[in-house]
A and B are shown apart, each in its own frame.
Chain A
Amino acid sequence: MNRIDYLFQTKKERVLSIYVTAGFPNLEDTLPVMEAIQAAGADIIELGIPYSDPIADGPTIQESNTQALENGMSIKTLFSQLVGFRSKIHVPVILMGYLNPIIQFGEEEFCKKCKEVGIDGLILPDLPMSQYLEEYKSLFEEYGLFISFLISPQTSEKRIREVDENSNGFIYMVSSHAITGAKAEISPEQEQYFERVANMNLTHPRLIGFGISDAATFQLASHYSQGAIIGSAFIKNITNSTDLNRDINSFIQGVIG
């Protein structure tokens, strides 16, 4: 069974997924950061493939992408870092990335490598569902890769149901009209949207992302869904860290308590 499905079968609430850009803050930090995230008690690791033009991301993640690229990160390097990582990491690991670098690497080769090293799923924000169904579905299935599609407050009920039908593992619920970025509070309108989707009885669990940053927002998101994804706030926390293990542990412990 795919590790993502197994996770959601055994843990029904307060699932925490942590996003981190691969090769950040330093090129060789990818694995140590993943280990620290797991050790601190997060349930899923979402590993970002850095890109020069990440249009769905806010300043914090953009800067981490730029830094990782300056550090020399590429898909090739990432896969070489990931060889053998499954001897240490048992939580589900998802690669999040924009389509262009994957196309240049070669889509089939990419999927093959993902399977070889032990990646469980993909989040590709600029791959529209229609294009996925036409060009990529059978490829991803062949290599056992899950894909999670996004929904936002603007997504119609009809389309949410299509996303539910075509996603594997979980649905990525974007919390607001926004790009990624840590925000202080969650508004009543956002809560209404969380509740509306919670009441749709979707077949897949949902994780809420964008703007989740601390214990309070994680708690609130978990009230309306199976859990949440934290990215920008985590990146900020490790940006100038002098002790990654300590800072990652205290951040994640601070969120899940």
Chain B
Amino acid sequence: MIQVDEKGFYGSFGGAYIPEMLYPNVEELRENWEAIVASPTYQEEFQSLLKDFVGRPTPLYLAARLSETFGAKIYLKREDLCHTGAHKVNNTVGQIILAKKLGKKRIIAETGAGQHGVATATVCALMGMDCTIYMGELDIKRQRPNVERMRILGAKVVSAISGSKTLKDATNEAMRAWIADPVGTHYIIGSVVGPHPYPEMVARFQSVISEEIKWQLKAKEGRENPDLVIACVGGGSNAAGAFYHYYNESSVRLIAVEAAGHGIHSGKSAATSVLGTPGILHGSKTLLMQTEDGQVIEPHSISAGLDYPGIGPVHAHLHEIGRAEFVGVEDEDAMKAGILLSRTEGIIPAIETAHAIHALNQISFNPNDLIVINLSGRGDKDLETYIQWGNY
């Protein structure tokens, strides 16, 4: 059984390794989140927003030409059609209602590519809540349009200038900001990372993805379980959502796709399952890329959303017990897969998502296999990267 235990561990990974200053905040969440989320008033608001604001259920689309290309029956779970363009908003909608019920007045969040930042700024605008987004100084320069989207939505974007000035440092800054205002602020973490209960809570909000896949597949194919589910992994939230209701269905192969950058062993990669070792990152015990001395290494991926030196503890556990197969896709191959999907299906994917598409070339499957790929986001935010790559 893949299940979080009472202390927040999935096997040997997870927990809450946090400074005492954050203990009351995290305790408050741990003690209350499940009861609040289970309450009828919460569910009513959550379900109605998922439907009318996010645009759920998202289609499960039979990609006929892609299927023909690869010789299997391939469905795409269209998270790219969510409002704001990616799965991230499932989680921010879930957390903002929770924050409101906890009486919080102010929201903070970290962001790398800016997708989670935009999804957070969006729900803050929706709820009329004060919003501050921490973003690495380098990412602010790399992801200009998303920075402006957040500002248009009324969020304040704060530049994280410490360390390597990217996602991990933005996360550090958000944690520091939370320490500074523990009573009034809720921290919306954007992936299945951080101290318990965040990894499980975020996974639960994203689990709507596999919940829908189950009934949609049943209606289309007469079966709830595909043979394979494929998703990309940065921190691992879209993958956790796509895998969630299949964790304990052993006939379903779970394929987790990491960014291999210039090559897994090139020194410019984000393939944590291969390069990572157990340690502590952002409050949980997990696999992370680090030096022999335990200093966190700055990863590389062409997609900012996969450019993270760790993976969520649930993925470290899936890796540890061999429940999921981990595949590393290189920058160049991901870009090619992005073009391929654009040309065969008329869908320009986010570059994160393009990694999951390319994985079809790197795994084995049978011609009659039923494959679901989680199409985590659309490529609008990545136009500049596609243009600079230029090979189309």
Check A174 for interface membership: any CB of B closer than 8 A: yes
Residues 38 to 96 of chain A near chain B (Cβ within 8 Å) = 51-56, 58-59, 62, 66, 69, 74-76
Given contacts A74-B293, A151-B20, A156-B24, contact A53 B163 (CB under 8 A): yes
A58→B19 CA distance, assembly (Å) = 14
Residues 133 to 180 of chain B near chain A (Cβ within 8 Å) = 162-163, 168-169, 172, 175-176, 179-180
Picked from B17, B162, B181, B293, the residue with its CB within 8 Å of the CB of A75 is B293
Binding-face segment, B266-274, B275-283, B329-337 = B275-283
Check B18 for interface membership: any CB of A closer than 8 A: yes
Check B39 for interface membership: any CB of A closer than 8 A: no
Q: B280–A55 contact, CB under 8 A?
A: no
Picked from B15, B163, B282, B294, the residue with its CB within 8 Å of the CB of A131 is B15
User: Which residues of the partner chain B approach A105 to less than 8 Å between Cβ atoms?
Assistant: 293-294
Residues 260 to 306 of chain B near chain A (Cβ within 8 Å) = 277-283, 290, 292-296
User: Which residues of the partner chain B approach A54 to less than 8 Å between Cβ atoms?
Assistant: 172
Q: List 28 A-B contacts (CB under 8 A).
A: A51-B294, A52-B295, A55-B179, A55-B282, A58-B176, A62-B163, A66-B162, A75-B294, A99-B17, A99-B280, A100-B294, A101-B293, A103-B294, A104-B277, A104-B292, A104-B294, A125-B19, A127-B17, A128-B23, A149-B20, A152-B20, A155-B24, A177-B180, A177-B181, A177-B182, A178-B180, A179-B176, A179-B180
Check A102 for interface membership: any CB of B closer than 8 A: yes
User: Which residues of the partner chain A approach B25 to less than 8 Å between Cβ atoms?
Assistant: 154
Q: What residue of chain A has the Cβ atom nearest to residue B280's Cβ?
A: A100
Residue from A66, A100, A131 having most chain B Cβ neighbours under 10 A = A100
Check A126 for interface membership: any CB of B closer than 8 A: yes
User: Which residues of the partner chain A approach B163 to less than 8 Å between Cβ atoms?
Assistant: 52-53, 62, 66
Residue from A101, A125, A178 having most chain B Cβ neighbours under 10 A = A101
Check B127 for interface membership: any CB of A closer than 8 A: no
A56→B163 CA distance, assembly (Å) = 14
Query: Size of chain A's interface in residues, with CB distance under 8 A?
Result: 42
Check A182 for interface membership: any CB of B closer than 8 A: no
User: Which residues of the partner chain A approach B126 to less than 8 Å between Cβ atoms?
Assistant: none
Residue from A59, A129, A177 having most chain B Cβ neighbours under 10 A = A177
Tell me the smallest distance from the CB of B1 to a CB of chain A, in Å: 22
Picked from A53, A69, A155, the residue with its CB within 8 Å of the CB of B23 is A155
Q: B21–A62 contact, CB under 8 A?
A: no
Q: A154–B294 contact, CB under 8 A?
A: no
Q: What residue of chain A has the Cβ atom nearest to residue B176's Cβ?
A: A179
Tell me the smallest distance from the CB of B240 to a CB of chain A, in Å: 23
A166→B111 CA distance, assembly (Å) = 37
A54→B278 CA distance, assembly (Å) = 18
Q: A104–B293 contact, CB under 8 A?
A: yes
Given contacts A100-B280, A179-B176, contact A53 B21 (CB under 8 A): no
Check B64 for interface membership: any CB of A closer than 8 A: no
Tell me the smallest distance from the CB of B68 to a CB of chain A, in Å: 47
Picked from B17, B277, B295, the residue with its CB within 8 Å of the CB of A101 is B295
Tell me the smallest distance from the CB of B392 to a CB of chain A, in Å: 38
Check B383 for interface membership: any CB of A closer than 8 A: no
Q: A101–B24 contact, CB under 8 A?
A: no
Check B2 for interface membership: any CB of A closer than 8 A: no
Q: What residue of chain B has the Cβ atom nearest to residue A73's Cβ?
A: B293
Residues 2 to 48 of chain A near chain B (Cβ within 8 Å) = none
Check A150 for interface membership: any CB of B closer than 8 A: yes
Given contacts A52-B163, A178-B179, contact A126 B293 (CB under 8 A): no
Check B16 for interface membership: any CB of A closer than 8 A: yes
Tell me the smallest distance from the CB of A228 to a CB of chain B, in Å: 17
Picked from B20, B175, B176, the residue with its CB within 8 Å of the CB of A155 is B20
User: Which residues of the partner chain A approach B278 to less than 8 Å between Cβ atoms?
Assistant: 103
A80→B19 CA distance, assembly (Å) = 29
Tell me the smallest distance from the CB of A157 to a CB of chain B, in Å: 12
Tell me the smallest distance from the CB of A122 to a CB of chain B, in Å: 14
Tell me the smallest distance from the CB of B163 to a CB of chain A, in Å: 6
Residues 183 to 206 of chain A near chain B (Cβ within 8 Å) = none
Chain A window 154-166, contacts with chain B (Cβ cutoff 8 Å), 1 for yes, 0 for no: 1110010001000
User: Which residues of the partner chain A approach B282 to less than 8 Å between Cβ atoms?
Assistant: 53, 55
Q: A56–B168 contact, CB under 8 A?
A: no
Other than A100-B290, A177-B181, give 17 A-B pairs with Cβ distance below 8 A. Answer: A52-B163, A53-B282, A55-B175, A56-B19, A75-B293, A75-B294, A99-B17, A100-B279, A101-B293, A104-B277, A105-B293, A128-B17, A150-B20, A150-B21, A152-B20, A152-B21, A174-B21
Residue from B16, B281, B294 having most chain A Cβ neighbours under 10 A = B294
Given contacts A62-B162, A66-B163, contact A177 B179 (CB under 8 A): yes
Q: A59–B162 contact, CB under 8 A?
A: yes
A101→B294 CA distance, assembly (Å) = 4
Q: What residue of chain B has the Cβ atom nearest to residue A75's Cβ?
A: B293
A148→B229 CA distance, assembly (Å) = 47
A150→B21 CA distance, assembly (Å) = 8
Q: What residue of chain A has the Cβ atom nearest to residue B15's Cβ?
A: A131
Q: A154–B293 contact, CB under 8 A?
A: no
A155→B281 CA distance, assembly (Å) = 24
